[in-house]
Structure 1
């Protein structure tokens, strides 16, 4: 069973990836008067509410494979956007026959779009989309967390990891997308320090994905 290949799920993913490709080919200019690095998370979320910022197709298949193999009861995602990565995780949960995905998104525009995309893909029942600041929405998530995807604002990946760290199951996987970005330096330094309890490797999908095991 591979839900990713079912007509309804494949159609949604094809549409979303095609829209993201068009966006990448003709990117919109940054709309605010201040540099993006100086904007708050809320300002960035509102200014880029129409931007897909997706994982790549190989990264999606990687996430699906990891979730199928590990069969985690609880999957947490930071950074839903339009739901491309969420659909891959939810498909794995559906095919495993157990588990649930908890995902969080700051942009209300994207929250509504992601929920609609999950509904069209036939996967809404496997996902809870939380609206708001991840440091608040994820504070009440109960462990053990078997798989954590960090794909929101890069400067918040380490704070979100630290927030959830005591709820990671032994052997839990943490996947951080866009590991090649300079804004991921603090995060990478943390998970690559053996003293912090991870075994980690960079996986060569587009823009890199750091995959860390909670050892």
Structure 2
């Protein structure tokens, strides 16, 4: 089935996505710099772009930059004066991301902060920024609950939060799993289910990236 998923992904991208030179160049630069090919797919990037537009977001928080492929997709959906703050653990990844952002002409829109997000998020909060309208979480999965807690603190009623890679090849439904990534996904589901401020669902996805899924929620 994975071959079918890949072919359909290619068809969707060809017909609907219209990945531009800056986005394609970011993927090429990421590969040349030795980054793992774990960016969102082009179709998923366009989906994030559309969610940002639909929500009317002006301020975005991204946790997990990698080479800024998803960052650029979201930044391109912002109105004039919009802002993305993106957090990246690895200094090499951040350097590659900044190059991609500069080539995309988005250095004035996107701010990359380097360090473990569990450390940089409290620093960001201490600056008392305006609430974020949209939060995309795509970092180390065992820390999902930490990142969700901060997304809630840094958001406002109406903030949209997207948490990526929650299905884990279906293993999220396996209560006996000892995989830290699966445990991180299950912990996130428990947090979301037990927080009355979050209205959420999760969708399974298939495609060139395999079988996974994401949770999407709104902060009440």
Structure 1, unaligned runs of 5 or more: 24-48
In structure 1, the partner of 2:203 is: 203
User: Is residue 76 of structure 2 the alignment partner of residue 76 of structure 1?
Assistant: no
State the alpha-carbon separation in 2 of the partners of residues 52 and 114 from structure 1: 14
Q: Is the 8 A contact 1:58 1:205 kept in 2?
A: no
Match of 1:65 in 2: 50
Cα offsets for 1:9-45 (capped at 9, x unmatched): 812322444688x89xxxxxxxxxxxxxxxxxxxxxx
Q: Distance in 1 between matches of 2:58 and 2:26?
A: 27
TM-score (ref. length: structure 1): 0.76
Deviant stretches of 4+, over 6 Å: none
What do the CA deviations read for 1:153-208 (whole angstroms, capped 9, x no partner)?
01112102212422211011110011112231101121133x43211111344421
1:34 aligns with none
> Do the aligned residues in 2 keep the contact of 1:73 with 1:146 (CA within 8 Å)?
yes
**How many positions carry a matched residue from both structures?**
180
Segments of structure 2 that go 5 or more residues without pairing to the other structure are: 1-16, 169-181, 207-211
SS at match of 1:124: coil
Cα distance between partner residues in 1 of 2:62 and 2:160:
12
Residues 205/125 of structure 1: CA separation in 2 closer, same or farther (3 Å cut): farther
- Whether contact under 8 Å (1:173, 1:213) holds in the other structure is yes
Distance apart, 1:58 and its partner CA:
1.8
CA separation in 1, counterparts of 2:203 and 2:21? 27
Moved more, 140-149 or 101-110: 140-149
Q: How large is the Cα RMSD of the aligned pairs?
A: 2.3
1:97 to partner: Cα distance: 1.7
Match of 1:98 among 71, 75, 81: 81
Q: For residue 192 of structure 1, give the secondary structure of its aligned residue in structure 2.
A: helix
